Structure 1
């Protein structure tokens, strides 16, 4: 974070009328996602900033592409207020902005692609309980204020600071409901493995947010599985899609797997770890040649720089490396899991940043 940057304050507007008039005014300006918003009055924005002990002109990111608007604390707080965030959610939103503007994360591509992807905001660590971010039943669905508003704040930031207006900058052919909000937390209490953020190199008592451009969740119905081998076979077959962007661009893009607690328990009982899951999937989650079109085969042969060397016969993995499988536990009761393909841009990998609550705002 860079305090005292001298970045101009956000534009002040005066709108006369009722709440509906304010909503209509901001909608016509292209500042909303189409849903009703909380008016970002100076008082509301100031309360959110002051509650976190930050200077309004602290620069979190120099620019949000493609429009390249600066992401100051004030600008982020305005969008968080509009989304309905509580003040204590702001550090999560800030960490997500830091992550998605990290060098190497192709935010421009995610913003402008024809692919139907949203930016996932995935939280791991004790802050998820402190802020009541849902990690259990329905974590990827509606009904939870923290999940809904944090994810929505990210989308409003992408729209208002990055200019991602559908049909103009945002070129998604069909779009996705994940562009409204896409935030959930890890169900560590029912996971047989170390926390996701610990695996990513952070201290156990830390909390992190991980961002990645992903499709909405695809269900994996594993109700027939009672043994690890049986479930892994279902999992490998479920994520083996010749139509996914992960497969079409086998260049190192990450793929997210959210295991339901009951599926994770099956693997945990047999001491199957994340690395073993990755190794199995890399070997078995492959698309055989007879499922590919002649045009696709020809493109693979003639573009090794994009797809890697290939002999034209061997089944093709859906990722470049086992490490591209990101695995966590999310959800409640029931034998369901999900997978979320990446938008598939070149080497599009997840970025994780620590969430700094209002006691620490240093780099």
Structure 2
């Protein structure tokens, strides 16, 4: 794994690493030996092979992850979370080879649940997918850099996305632990997404129909937009529900599975028998307000993977 000499400045490190195929085009924190060593503190075997990362099937090791955490500006405490997320991405059902080589816009989103999210500085609140004093951007970027570096991803060579999307730089959020359906203790969930879209309840009615109808339209719309490409594919779709929206739904849907079933039924009804998703993943996160977020699934076929950290 590439390191740079102590004292190398940001501009020089960014340019030299990019020439070697390491980086995402944004400035990086120089991965000096001392910084990488600090990120590896507590790791028993930094060079243990944890799996092979497509598309070129390079080795995933703790050293690769730690170096990419340094590059991204993520703290050493985030290394175990990024390791868990990267390993989860190698599960066959996620189809990382397809994600890495598609001409589509697929990007891996990372959802962190449990107390570990707060320990590494992630937020589940206002502006969680944007800039701020939280570490969401750095941790998501560390995962993206890990997959690209170990997998040998180079735009125009091993990856052929027609346009790509900003989530390929980073997409990481934490799940609100106080949500009505709870959250898994210290876990990561990874899923390929095609982008993000804002969804608003149909009106101010207090009943859940105003929320469900809007979400069902979004789920069905993503399938319609993809046309026949979704037939037979395991297209997963996620919806991010702000806490006050989740609280509105919870009395009617005391279990998360109840909500999923209702969303699936409404979405499928809009598609004349076609499935709106192979899997629907509701996530409680966000600040004050009722504006929801739809994470349309990658149409190439993928299922989310959840793993402990």
- Counterpart CA distance in 2 for 1:187 and 1:167 is 38
**Are 1:163 and 1:169, in contact at CA under 8 Å, matched by a contact in 2?**
yes
Moved more, 82-91 or 11-20: 11-20
TM-score normalised per structure 2: 0.91
Equivalent position of 2:306 in the other structure:
352
Equivalent position of 1:107 in the other structure:
96
The answer to whether 1:317 aligns with 2:275 is yes
**Are 2:200 and 2:211, in contact at CA under 8 Å, matched by a contact in 1?**
no
Equivalent position of 1:257 in the other structure:
239
- Counterpart CA distance in 2 for 1:247 and 1:188 is 36
- Counterpart CA distance in 2 for 1:16 and 1:194 is 46
TM superposition shift of 1:15: 9.3
The answer to whether 1:194 aligns with 2:185 is no
The answer to whether 1:93 aligns with 2:82 is yes
TM-score normalised per structure 1: 0.78
User: Please, which runs of 5 or more residues in structure 2 have no aligned partner?
Assistant: none
The answer to whether 1:268 aligns with 2:231 is no
User: Please, which runs of 5 or more residues in structure 1 have no aligned partner?
Assistant: 1-9, 198-205, 290-313, 356-363
- Counterpart CA distance in 1 for 2:82 and 2:228 is 27
Q: Aligned residues, how many?
A: 306
The answer to whether 1:134 aligns with 2:92 is no
Equivalent position of 1:160 in the other structure:
149
Task: Give the 5 Å matches for 1:38-49.
Answer: 38-49=29-40
Equivalent position of 1:326 in the other structure:
281
The answer to whether 1:30 aligns with 2:21 is yes
Deviating beyond 6 angstroms after TM superposition, the runs of 4 or more aligned structure 1 residues are none
Equivalent position of 1:217 in the other structure:
196
Question: Which of structures 1 and 2 has the bigger CA Rg?
Answer: 1
**Are 2:219 and 2:237, in contact at CA under 8 Å, matched by a contact in 1?**
no
Q: CA offsets per residue over residues 176-206 of structure 1, 9 Å max, x none? A: 00001011110122x11132x2xxxxxxxx3
- Counterpart CA distance in 2 for 1:246 and 1:330 is 32
**Are 2:93 and 2:304, in contact at CA under 8 Å, matched by a contact in 1?**
no
**Are 2:3 and 2:32, in contact at CA under 8 Å, matched by a contact in 1?**
no
**Are 2:4 and 2:13, in contact at CA under 8 Å, matched by a contact in 1?**
no
Change beyond 3 A, Cα 1:148–1:17: closer
